[in-house]
Structure 1
Amino acid sequence: MIRVSDGSEIRTVTLDRPKSRNALTQQDLNDLAEAVGNADQAVVYLHGEGTAFCAGADLDVVAGLEQESATAFAEHGQHVADTIERAESIVVAGIDGFARGGGVELALACDVRVATPDATFAEPGVGLGIFGAWGGTVRLPGIVGMGDALDLALSGRVVDADDALRMGLVSRIADDPRTVAEEIAQNTPDALSVVKNRVRDRSSADVQAEREAEAFGTLVAKHAENIAAQRD
């Protein structure tokens, strides 16, 4: 179950299946994509109910899949992660407790990942003869580097919040991750959107530089009064 609560600046999206450590079914994935992708707020705060962020795919679902349907399920999860990554809003993952497999991969798609001191992370799929296919082999190396990505994915070992911070798996550690979402939401929405789009741009360096300059010019013209007021 995906729960949505709207404020003026932050949409809170809660993974709400605490008895299953917020493991996700296909319907949950659909609802998650809609909740994040359709947000009008500048910031979306994504977190889990109870003692876990997300255990990834519901293994009761995975166990019933055949090869073709398993491929489709992986593609479904990849689509949801892409929806999170490409959302107009800034998506902040608040990770408290247990994050495993697909839960880690959905967090990787978020713009900012904030862990509590009690958060733990793992890609345990290899122990079951599978692996994280919601972008685990795609986003993980780009975020933590090839060495740590291979270590996590091949060993299935559990890392704590401090190790996650060291390798760049999370951006910060905070007792209440929502405070980071609130901090970001205090800034100008269109500037937030531009920064997200510029940082995530995968065009050539020349194209990125041109787009960066054009976006800066647009924002300066739009917010000239605010900029001038800071001089006084």
Structure 2
Amino acid sequence: MIEPDADGEICTVTIDRPDARNALPWEGLDELEAAIVDATEPIVYLEGTGPAFCAGADLDVVAELDGPEARRFAERGQAVATAIEESSSIVVAGIDGPARGGGLELALACDLRVATPEATFSEPGVTFGLFGAWGGTVRLPRVLGEGDALELALSGRVVDAEEALRMGLISRIEDDPRTVATELADNAADALSVLKRRLRDDGDRKRQERREAEAFADLVVAHAEELAALRE
């Protein structure tokens, strides 16, 4: 499901579940975290196979969770996003096609988000009674500012690459986002790592993530019937 491939200074980590638009179940999250943690290359390039970057959480899994399980699932996604954010490598998200919910949240944890013109972004959970709980309520306002973060999350609307660039959600639009990873690989690895640590040095987010996971679990229980209907 997760395919890491090291080539020189770049480790490409591919979410390879195109039939599910690269949505991630438990084991996918485990594999993704392992791939990120095990990477020793200065640059990690995160991509999806097929027509989507990542659709986020596998709703077939979410629909079967009770309250405690839903909290653990949220915490599992948070842990993967934190592993991306805290990796000593520079993690570049190459986004081609939709990044939805948890997929957007994983991209938010990356150091750079580079999109193709076909990329789109949204937090659609609110449209069926949930919200993204893989650190999105922490990182989205940090990246976009409170106003744009609230508008995007509360509306559930889809944002195209051009608007995402204007909002600061992505840093560049490229036909081939991998070119940015290649450019970064030309720089000194130790300097890249130090710069990442300094620029990522912010306040405590653990309490926010704990509350996020608790709220997500409550909503999974409250909207169990709607979630079940999504699977039909």
Q: What TM-score comes out, normalization by structure 2 length?
A: 0.87
CA distance in 2, matches of 1:202, 1:150: 21
CA distance in 2, matches of 1:155, 1:116: 23
Gaps of 5+ in 2: 204-232
- Determine the structure 1 residue equivalent to 2:81: 81
- Determine the structure 2 residue equivalent to 1:59: 59
Tell me how far 1:168 sits from its aligned partner: 0.7
CA distance in 1, matches of 2:40, 2:78: 23
Which secondary structure does the structure 1 equivalent of 2:181 belong to?
helix
Gaps of 5+ in 1: 204-232
The letter for the 2-side match of 1:89 is: S
Tell me how far 1:92 sits from its aligned partner: 0.2
Which secondary structure does the structure 1 equivalent of 2:91 belong to?
strand
Higher RCO (C-alpha 8 Å, min separation 6): 2
CA distance in 2, matches of 1:21, 1:200: 30
The letter for the 1-side match of 2:132 is: G
Fraction of identical pairs, as percent: 66
- Determine the structure 2 residue equivalent to 1:123: 123
CA distance in 1, matches of 2:95, 2:8: 23
The letter for the 1-side match of 2:175 is: D
- Determine the structure 2 residue equivalent to 1:150: 150
- Larger Rg belongs to: 1
CA distance in 2, matches of 1:3, 1:179: 20
Runs of 4+ in 1 over 6 A off after TM superposition: none
Q: Deviations over 1:182-218 (max 9, x none)?
A: 0001111001001101111126xxxxxxxxxxxxxxx
Aligned residues: 203
The letter for the 1-side match of 2:153 is: A
Q: Over the residues paired in the alignment, what is the CA RMSD in angstroms? A: 0.7
CA distance in 1, matches of 2:124, 2:92: 24
Which secondary structure does the structure 2 equivalent of 1:54 belong to?
coil
CA distance in 2, matches of 1:192, 1:89: 8
The letter for the 1-side match of 2:75 is: E
- Determine the structure 1 residue equivalent to 2:135: 135
CA distance in 1, matches of 2:26, 2:2: 12
Give runs of aligned pairs for residues 1-232 of structure 1, distance below 5 A: 1-202=1-202
